[in-house]
């Protein structure tokens, strides 16, 4: 599986390279300007943009599937489908449900992780969104199953998941939160969300090891000039990276632009927070045991509460370019490199560099996915 991608604009950490890259044995072997003149098979990219494959660290499902279904065949279908939007890696994200349902999902994800194919988007691990959240900011989570965190409960869930839990979304103000943060902050990423914590509480948790904000602007305390809230802490604390759902529905485009200006290209992480209706027609779908009505590109509970998104990663990047008026050579980092660095896997993923996995996406000027490459395997979508 050795070949060359030629006549592309390859966006690297050092800047764009107009030329070709050599793929050898599932990895990037070389990046060079100009034309390729060697013996390997060439794939002409017609001058299109080439980015590292997208890494979605907060996704509940899509294409009719949900990680809480605990369905191995469904997981394969979802992972194959994610390649269509340029996503080559992801964290399977769970919901606030019963302990039994969560453990069943974790056990199934553990089994899937052992058998996943190199020709599918790669499950890197698990994002546990809840149940350790505030009952006062549940959003579309089920308040019936909100729990208080404990060291024993996290040990139990990690055992069920075979240590695959990489991110835990939690409310830092609830009972038990400080203890689990102290115990596990160097083992998993604690991301603050679904919380009523104020500015000082968020900053204190960041000082104690919390590193992220879950879907900034949603299900947390807003900014006011005398009470800066979670938003103000997220904007101004350099210890904190911020997830943002860039669909134009969860947050106003101007609010997205503000977050990007304040966090910059190193601490802004584009996510989808997508649920099973992504890639499907409008209708009613299940999310965590609750009906979600999908209409006009939004997913909501019957009372109007936003319930995840139907956003695709390539569309999120297209939106971010429009909202911030920045170009793709600056913004590609928020779809891959920042996520790889956060997860500690930037030695193999997250940028186009010799020695890294051949996980790539080829985009048209309007961010349509033309080709996705996973571990060197080429998938055409034009």
pLDDT digits (tens, 9 = 90+) for 338-349: 999 999 999 999
Residue 107: pLDDT over 80: yes
Chain centroid, CA 39 distance in Å: 38
Q: Give the span between the Cα atoms of 242 and 231, in whole angstroms.
A: 10
Q: What are the chain's domains?
A: 3-50+353-380 (2.30.40.10), 54-343 (3.20.20.140)
Counting residues of the chain whose pLDDT is more than 70, the rounded percentage is: 100
DSSP string, 23-37: EETTEEEEEEES---
Q: Name the residue among 85, 95, 79, 26 with its Cα closest to residue 54.
A: 85
**223-243 CB burial, b ≥16 within 10 A, e <16:** beeeebbbbbbbbebeebbbb
**CB 375, CB 118: distance < 8 Å:** yes
Q: Give the span between the Cα atoms of 316 and 51, in whole angstroms.
A: 14
pLDDT band at 1 (very low <50, low <70, confident <90, very high): confident
pLDDT band at 308 (very low <50, low <70, confident <90, very high): confident
The per-residue pLDDT for 307 is: 84
What pTM was estimated for this model as a whole? 0.97
Q: Give the span between the Cα atoms of 308 and 39, in whole angstroms.
A: 48
Can 247 be counted among the known catalytic residues? Answer: no
The per-residue pLDDT for 36 is: 93
Residue 218: pLDDT over 90: yes
Lowest mean pLDDT among 9-18, 187-196, 280-289: 280-289
pLDDT (tens digit, 9 = 90+) per residue, 235-278? Answer: 999 999 999 999 999 999 999 999 999 999 999 999 999 999 99
Residue 382: pLDDT over 80: no
The kind and range of the H/E element at 17 are strand 15-24
The per-residue pLDDT for 286 is: 84
Taken as a whole, the chain contains a residue count of 382
Mean pLDDT of the chain: 96
The per-residue pLDDT for 140 is: 87
Pairing of strands 212-213, 241-245: parallel
The per-residue pLDDT for 290 is: 83
Residue 136: pLDDT over 80: yes
Beta-bridged to residue 256, according to DSSP, are none
**361-381 CB burial, b ≥16 within 10 A, e <16:** bbbeeebbbbbbbbbbbbbee
Task: Please give the average per-residue pLDDT across 136-154, as a whole number.
Answer: 95
Residue 166: pLDDT over 90: yes
**CB 197, CB 205: distance < 8 Å:** yes
The burial class, CB within 10 Å (0-12 / 13-18 / 19+), for 246 is: buried
Residue 111: pLDDT over 80: yes
Q: Name the residue among 372, 273, 351 with its Cα closest to residue 316.
A: 273
Lateral strand order in the sheet of 212-213: 54-59, 87-93, 122-129, 165-170, 189-192, 212-213, 241-245, 268-271
The per-residue pLDDT for 354 is: 98
Residue 287: pLDDT over 90: no
Q: Give the span between the Cα atoms of 112 and 76, in whole angstroms.
A: 8
Question: Residue ranges of the alpha helices (H) in the chain?
Answer: 72-82, 99-115, 151-160, 177-184, 199-207, 229-236, 253-267, 313-324, 328-331, 337-343
Neighbours of 204 (CB within 10 A): 16
**Percent composition of the chain: helix, strand, coil (DSSP 3-state, to 5):** 30, 30, 40
**CB 25, CB 340: distance < 8 Å:** no
> Helices 313-324 and 253-267, interaxial angle, to 10°?
100
Residue 78: pLDDT over 90: yes
pLDDT (tens digit, 9 = 90+) per residue, 173-206? Answer: 999 999 999 999 999 999 999 999 999 999 999 9
**CB 164, CB 113: distance < 8 Å:** yes
Q: Give the span between the Cα atoms of 172 and 149, in whole angstroms.
A: 10
pLDDT band at 225 (very low <50, low <70, confident <90, very high): very high
Q: Of the residues 56, 69, 201, 273, which is catalytic? A: 273
The burial class, CB within 10 Å (0-12 / 13-18 / 19+), for 115 is: exposed
3-state secondary structure of 96: coil
pLDDT band at 289 (very low <50, low <70, confident <90, very high): confident
């Amino acid at each position: 599986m050795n070949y060359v991608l030629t006549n592309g604009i390859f966006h690297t950490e050092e800047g764009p390279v107009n030329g070709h890259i050599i793929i050898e044995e599932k990895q990037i072997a070389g990046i060079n300007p100009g034309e390729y003149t060697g013996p390997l098979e060439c794939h002409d990219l017609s001058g299109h943009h080439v980015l590292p494959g997208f890494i979605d660290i907060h996704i509940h499902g899509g294409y009719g599937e949900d990680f809480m279904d605990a369905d191995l065949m469904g997981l394969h279908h979802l992972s194959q489908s994610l390649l269509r939007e340029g996503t080559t890696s992801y964290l399977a994200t769970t919901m606030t449900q019963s302990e039994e349902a969560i453990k069943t999902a974790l056990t199934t994800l553990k089994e899937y992780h052992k058998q996943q194919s190199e020709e599918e988007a790669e499950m890197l691990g698990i994002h546990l969104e809840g149940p350790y959240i505030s009952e006062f900011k549940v959003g579309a989570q089920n308040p019936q199953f909100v729990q208080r965190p404990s060291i024993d409960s996290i040990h139990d869930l990690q055992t069920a998941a075979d240590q695959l839990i990489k991110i835990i979304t939690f409310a830092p103000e609830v009972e038990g939160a400080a203890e689990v943060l102290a115990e596990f902050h160097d083992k998993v990423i604690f991301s603050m969300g679904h919380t009523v914590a104020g500015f000082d509480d968020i900053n204190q948790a960041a000082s104690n090891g919390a590193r992220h904000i879950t879907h900034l602007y949603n299900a947390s305390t807003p900014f006011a000039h005398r009470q800066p809230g979670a938003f103000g802490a997220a904007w101004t604390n350099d210890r904190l990276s911020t997830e943002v759902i860039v669909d134009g529905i969860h947050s106003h485009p101007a609010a997205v632009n503000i977050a990007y200006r304040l966090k910059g290209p190193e601490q802004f992480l584009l996510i989808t927070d997508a649920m099973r209706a992504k890639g499907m027609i409008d209708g009613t779908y299940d999310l965590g045991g609750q009906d979600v009505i999908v209409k006009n590109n939004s997913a909501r509970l019957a009372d109007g509460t936003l319930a995840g998104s139907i956003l695709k990663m390539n569309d999120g990047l297209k939106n971010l370019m429009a909202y911030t008026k920045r170009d793709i050579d600056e913004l590609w980092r928020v779809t891959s490199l920042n996520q790889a660095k956060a997860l500690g896997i930037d030695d193999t993923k997250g940028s186009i560099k010799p020695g890294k996995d051949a996980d790539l996406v080829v985009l048209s000027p309007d961010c349509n996915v033309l080709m996705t490459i996973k571990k060197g395997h080429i998938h055409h979508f034009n």
